[in-house]
Structure 1
């Protein structure tokens, strides 16, 4: 059923067309953020250009100097960290990532007057302390995101993940952008993703699934197997699992679709 849904996307993919090559494995410097200490493996060599891993306290990012966005963020999301995060004041300290070369990183000027949000991949709401919160506001953890999508659809997905993590005790989460089709656009020097995804793995249930949605207001939210998402984006997101395991579906909460309430823009 999913093959028909995504056939057009896969055929038209400009940046992320899957290539039949061995995985390009990254030896992670922050393995604790990943299931079985194994970071995602890039299947499409186009994506491997100018990639750099950035490790933070409670999340990790693999950044692309081509798109000037993360290819993914990774979290070992624990209930105790979420409890610590409750009540922390959001400081909106967006900043360019000084560890990245200037020619590969996003700058605040790229997003200025773009009409798009600086959308977190590892959410600020998951951060258990002020240092981690500041880390989450690096532009290396951001993608250009439709304002209503960020404040409505994506916010509800993030909240659903937090509720799951509190119930399960622990989740492994991989979040990232997809750049599909031939008509990609930029804000400044930063590529705008056409889609966003969030992979959730429950160690207790030993099951995973993914939300996948277009980067636009009122977009449909798909829940798909991890194996299907990997085919679409050209990255093996949970490399320690077999294909059969990745075809099985974790029961993800249904996300209600409704318009975002007005909030000040931070773009």
Structure 2
């Protein structure tokens, strides 16, 4: 006995899930925006503000300083704001090799290759700046182991109209940029309005430290200097709304040296 089964087309259709209505999206929108803003804030706290730039600078002088900072382990100190001069990151010590010999290279640029990171009583921050300038091709920079010595020489050249490769500015007159020097000293910016002879003496006798600016962002000047925390260290100094150096703990700003050579 043959049975005939009824035949017919059977079709299976996929039904997409209900999409959220515009009203439900609107209810969730504030939470979504808050989440995005939180992510941005976290990223900014690591790479902006108190953070340093991971990308090497394009200015030649700044690049040489930045590379030495990396060689020494990227020691970092933050000044101003809520930081108050704390050590954000410790670097490698000047007394360990091969870094002690590297300090000897800095001294060699100033005519003292016999000194190195283990030579007592020889602060090498001035030699570091001189070496950086020499390596970056700033041939007109007067190499010297003391900051006051090369700054006074730069002042004399500018005063006599002999050179425009480096120009000296009071801290409230000029916004530092990559490749410039930011310098502190016990006489502050009083040299700016003194006679030429007096200005020379004040700069030579009272300049205490200079750093090479590698970047300016997030409300800070990022500047690399030698013999800071017994290493090559990047310091983050606050700036005001015009980009000028702002007061920083333990710093009396003397000048900003504009670097036009590189």
TM-score calculated relative to the size of structure 1: 0.27
Query: Which structure has the greater CA radius of gyration?
Result: 2
Bigger strand fraction: 1
TM-score calculated relative to the size of structure 2: 0.28
Bigger helix fraction: 2
